[in-house]
Amino acid sequence: MMGVKERILVLAAGIAALVLAAVLVFSAVAEKKRSDGLLREAELRKSRAIPPEAFFLPDEPLGLPGVQLSRTTPPSWTEEETGRWFIPPSDADMESLRLAGEAPVHRLLESVP
């Protein structure tokens, strides 16, 4: 028959085994949660990642638009177009333009013998 000391030892060993099993189960569950969290975080980073192709130019140069040598103009402008694109010069503007044009002409004529 087992004595009191042996029973206490068996009971203590059983409790220690149960505590160890509980710690192992809880640590496995915590590790699983941690690894799931890391996996979700990695998937989130991957979904937000910029693809490497975005950092490089394409192999061929970009196409240039064709050259437009002239454009077709309408035979006459409407009042709205005239008001938008044509501003009639004032008298002061015309006078300053006349003086600016006369100055080189006078210098040229004065230099002629």
> Averaged in consecutive runs of 10 residues, what is the pLDDT profile of the chain (113 residues)?
83 93 90 84 77 76 77 82 84 93 92 86
Distance (Å, whole) CA 21 – CA 34: 20
Distance (Å, whole) CA 30 – CA 45: 22
pTM of the model: 0.33
pLDDT of residue 79: 84
Distance (Å, whole) CA 113 – CA 95: 29
pLDDT of residue 1: 61
pLDDT of residue 59: 73
Distance (Å, whole) CA 10 – CA 86: 108
pLDDT of residue 99: 93
pLDDT of residue 5: 87
Distance (Å, whole) CA 25 – CA 31: 10
